[in-house]
């Protein structure tokens, strides 16, 4: 059985990736420093199996090198990152330390390890590095124009990885994915926050006029793409991963309300509440994912209509998931320094 390492594997995308890798026959070493968004609930179904091992560790810690040498992974999937834009506006230093300095430390360790053992590094990034894409879709050749401290920190880490590929010849690949949704996502993010509020008959906070558009991809489709990139992707390349399906925040909210009414007869009296917009809020993200489709034959399987039903159903049936998270973290989805607090 081959070992793989997933950093940030207690988080949303990381835990879903852990699940798919185990199903694919790998033993997963989950490395996570345990932050507010880490949740052992996400891995409870396999945490006591021989296919899974958890180790508490920051990717910036010196002991990371010993862990990698001990378990001899054939791949490292780096999902260790601070990811929430609102928090980056409130506290950008955390993002610099985790997303830039942390990645630098990981690259230094990987540089030495990959000289001795065959191993790939898959660095997972975001479509937010491209900034506003008002017309068309951004391909891998599109210039980075990050707008938030979060996006800037991810852009910097992407460039670091790319520079190590060119300078030190490390076997690494960078991926940029659109907005993920699905089970196990921390409720500071839009969709799980809306579901929580619908279940609890609370107002649904939407930035500005709700017209900001995002490309939505079901998390398991994203994870399947990552595994395909590990197996067949070309070292040194960048791969966009998207669904080609854009919806604005208001459309997503209305779809969730419709689903909740049809599935469990909830949300009839829940109202949408438009709140002060996020500073520097990008209007639209949209990826061109032709490259991965043409070269690796990966295609998203889940329509938004089906995926959002699966997502709502999971949260409704797993209400204990919300109980596993601090109530303080649930209600503070929006930035602490400039939110209209009376909504909560």
107, 93 in Cβ contact below 8 A? no
Q: Where do runs of H (alpha helix) occur along the chain?
A: 12-23, 64-71, 85-90, 92-95, 102-113, 149-168, 190-199, 219-232, 249-264, 290-296, 304-317, 319-323, 327-331
Sign of CA dihedral 331, 280, 127, 302: positive
Pair of tokens at residue 14: 């990381």
Residues acting as catalytic residues: 127-128, 150
> Can you give the three-state secondary structure of 152-181, one letter per residue?
HHHHHHHHHHHHHHHHHCCCEEEEEECEEE
Q: What is the dihedral of CA 38, 41, 42, 44, to 10 degrees?
A: 130
203, 197 in Cβ contact below 8 A? yes
**Which residue in the block uniquely carries the two structure tokens 């980075």?**
144
Other Cβ atoms less than 10 A from the Cβ of 317: the count is: 11
| Separation between Cα atoms, residue 94 and residue 6, nearest integer Å | 21
What lies within 8 Å, CB to CB, of 155 at 6+ separation is 129, 144, 146
- Nearest 5°: the CA angle 162, 168, 172 is 45
- Nearest 5°: the CA angle 179, 181, 186 is 105
Strand partners, 53: 29
């Amino acid at each position: 059985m081959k070992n793989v390492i997933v950093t940030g594997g207690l988080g949303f995308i990381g835990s879903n990736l852990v699940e798919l890798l185990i199903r694919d026959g790998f033993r997963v070493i989950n490395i996570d420093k345990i932050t507010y968004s880490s949740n052992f609930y996400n891995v409870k179904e396999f945490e006591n199996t021989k296919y899974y091992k958890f180790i508490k560790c920051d990717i910036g810690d010196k002991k990371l090198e010993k862990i990698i040498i001990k378990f001899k992974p054939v791949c490292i999937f780096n999902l260790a990152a601070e990811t929430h834009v609102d928090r980056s506006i409130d506290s950008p230093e955390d993002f610099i330390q985790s997303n830039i300095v942390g990645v630098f430390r990981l690259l230094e360790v990987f540089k030495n390890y990959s000289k001795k053992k065959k191993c790939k590094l898959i660095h997972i990034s975001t479509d937010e590095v491209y900034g506003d894409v008002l017309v068309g879709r951004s391909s891998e050749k599109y210039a980075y124009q990050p707008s938030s401290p979060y996006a800037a920190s991810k852009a910097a880490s992407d460039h670091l990885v790319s520079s190590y590929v060119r300078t030190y010849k490390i076997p690494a690949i960078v991926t940029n994915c659109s907005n993920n949704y699905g089970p196990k996502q921390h409720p500071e993010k839009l969709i799980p926050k809306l579901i929580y509020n619908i279940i609890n008959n609370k107002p649904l906070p939407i930035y500005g006029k709700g017209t900001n558009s995002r490309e939505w991809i079901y998390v398991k489709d994203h994870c399947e793409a990552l595994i395909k990139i590990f197996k067949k992707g070309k070292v040194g390349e960048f791969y966009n991963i998207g669904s080609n399906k854009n919806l604005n925040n208001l459309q997503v909210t209305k779809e969730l309300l419709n689903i909740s009414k049809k599935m469990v007869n909830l949300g009839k009296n829940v109202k949408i509440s438009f709140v002060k917009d996020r500073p520097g809020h990008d209007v639209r993200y949209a990826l061109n994912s032709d490259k991965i489709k043409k070269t690796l034959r990966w295609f998203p399987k889940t329509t938004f209509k089906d995926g959002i039903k699966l997502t709502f159903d999971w949260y409704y049936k797993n209400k204990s998931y919300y109980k596993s998270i601090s109530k303080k973290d649930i209600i503070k989805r929006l930035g602490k320094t400039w939110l209209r607090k009376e909504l909560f």
